[in-house]
Structure 1
Amino acid sequence: MPETLLVTGAAGQLGRLAVDHLATLHEGPIVAASRDPAKLADLAARGIATRRIDFEDAASLAEGFRGIDRALIVSTDAIDQPGRRAAQHLAAVEAAVKAGVKRLVYTSMPKPEPGSAVVFAPDHHATEQAIRGSGLAHTILRVSWYQENLLGSLGGILASGAWLTSAGEGRIPYVARVDAARAAAAALAADTAANETLDVTGPRAWTTAEVAALIAQVFGKPIQLVALDDAALAAQLGSLGLPPFLVAMLVSMDRNTREGGLPAVTDVVARLTGTPPRPLEAFLQDQKAAFPVAA
């Protein structure tokens, strides 16, 4: 009998892309889960089973993992309260064990071990430890920062012509979200019993200065890199009205980059999916129409 595969967080951006790709790889049953199954109506219309899974609802976890052979646990976005996301993830891992799931795939972050500067790294470290201690076969995907993360600041950078950063000369191997999703789907569909921890990256690692130069080239507007220390960057971000938890997160990510907290480039995307990852140049070219004022 074909195995039944589950994707949690299927209403989210990564989860939805993973379900779409999984449907091209797996001929057996696929279950897409969300806290709000109404958001999965289009998947249900395509014949994909849907379930309600809320990581903070034990009953929904028990029912959601019932009869599942392999599951992709997509990390949640609960980063506003320290420890909340870790508790959610650990509840999901426990439910998977109780339900008799055979294999887990988990979307982690780069180098989440103790010592990481990133404020939410402990969530991923705790989840990785729980998965390894569960006895379940597993693939942990340490996904580098998305190319799409740049969209949150790209408009402001283009409007002002300045990029405020404390990332120094650290390098980021930005990966496209769709490539991370394809890798996750491929890992879930793979017929393997191996336990693996893999770094999912784009094809090149970039310094912030190099990305700024690339943005200037693509959009035809000079970008000045403004190098700050962490305290000055926090003050500048706070002056923009960003909530304190978000300021702390953004500054910690720049510090992490400066301290070498991102991985070297790998071939994981190509190895798992059979196709190379999208270059950052192509991503930025695709954004030109969305920022016509800066073109």
Structure 2
Amino acid sequence: MTIAITGATGNIGGAVARALAADGVPFRMIVRDASRAPELPGAEVAVATFADAEASRAALEGVDVLLMVSAAEAEDRLDQHRTFVAAAAAAGVRHVVYTSFLGAAEDATFTLGRDHWATEQAIRSTDTAHTFLRDSFYLDFVEDLVGEDGVIRGPAGDGAMAAVARADVARVATTVLRDPGAHLDRTYELTGPAAITLAEAAAVVSEVRGRTVTYHPETLDEAYASRAQWNPEPWQADAWVSTYTAIAEGALAHVSGDVERITGRAPMSLREVLAG
């Protein structure tokens, strides 16, 4: 069985690559820049971008199982994904493991969740088997929500999110790749151990970091206005703001036991992620 991994220079793909290498499992890393690929035993390197159909097909020749880590946020990300999925099918890839989103749906409030849904549909439209890892928001990003003034601002109301650690997503992906046949055509919901509000998250950050962090619920108008200082493109502004409105509506409050069921290990809490 030949395994290929995208995103090996990033957090999730990199963690999976290191875990497989440590286990002595050979695999292929598909990267945009070979000079940035980690040097790992048993790993070969192929160069391609999601948007380059010809290079992607060549990079995927002979691959049986592909871990497709979703591309960086971009206005054309869905087009990139569709091109890469088509290339995988053309190359004869038999099983695609894709990092999707917990709220993936055609009409998802979190706008980028719609791209994940469409990518899932693109994969389903091929003859390849699939495993969809529907990740919640990442606990690792919670601290990044804190402004310079120590305030988390957003229109999340008092909604809660069962955010998940990237390390747990990587552990699930690694487990699936070790025995892909046990996870054919399955969809998993990857969450943390509990749903927490942003006020509760702020309190945890305060306690662990020893500084005062608070949460201020914004209105929609306030949310767009406060982010205008970064001059985002409309699609990016919508994605930022809908991160919070998805929490407000309760779309991310569901707690799943899939992380523990698949890995045999309970998912990490925000406190554990912050403690490193």
User: Which residue of the other structure, out of 109, 124, 131, is the alignment partner of 1:117?
Assistant: 109
The alignment status of 1:262 with 2:252, answered yes or no, reads yes
Q: 1:132 to 1:161 in 2, by over 3 A?
A: same
Q: Distance in 1 between matches of 2:174 and 2:35?
A: 22
Counterpart for residue 188 of structure 1:
177
Q: Is this contact kept in 2: 1:22–1:186, CA < 8 A?
A: no
Which blocks of at least 5 consecutive residues in structure 2 are unaligned?
Answer: none
What do residues 185-238 of structure 1 show as CA deviations (whole Å, max 9, x unaligned)?
211222326311111111111111111122222233333322211111111122
What do residues 26-82 of structure 1 show as CA deviations (whole Å, max 9, x unaligned)?
x55311110112111523xx2311111211112211111100011111100042x2x
Counterpart for residue 227 of structure 1:
217
> Which amino acid in structure 1 is aligned with residue 192 of structure 2?
G
RMSD over equivalenced CA pairs, Å: 1.8
TM-score (normalizing by structure 1): 0.86
What do residues 137-182 of structure 1 show as CA deviations (whole Å, max 9, x unaligned)?
110010111111123233x2xx423222210122111211111111
> Which amino acid in structure 2 is aligned with residue 7 of structure 1?
I
Shift of 1:242: 4.8
> Which amino acid in structure 2 is aligned with residue 164 of structure 1?
R
The alignment status of 1:169 with 2:158, answered yes or no, reads yes
Runs of 4 or more above 6 Å deviation: none
3-state DSSP of counterpart to 1:127? helix
Q: Is this contact kept in 1: 2:131–2:183, CA < 8 A?
A: no
> Which amino acid in structure 2 is aligned with residue 163 of structure 1?
I
The percent identity for this pair of structures is 33
Q: How many residues align?
A: 274
3-state DSSP of counterpart to 1:179? helix
Q: Is this contact kept in 1: 2:143–2:205, CA < 8 A?
A: no
TM-score (normalizing by structure 2): 0.92
Counterpart for residue 44 of structure 2:
49
Q: Is this contact kept in 2: 1:199–1:263, CA < 8 A?
A: no
User: Which residue of the other structure, out of 31, 35, 44, is the alignment partner of 2:32?
Assistant: 35
3-state DSSP of counterpart to 1:130? helix
Which blocks of at least 5 consecutive residues in structure 1 are unaligned?
Answer: 287-295
Counterpart for residue 6 of structure 1:
4
Shift of 1:24: 4.1
3-state DSSP of counterpart to 2:255? coil
Counterpart for residue 85 of structure 2:
93
Structure 1 stretch 228-237 or stretch 259-268: which is displaced more? 259-268
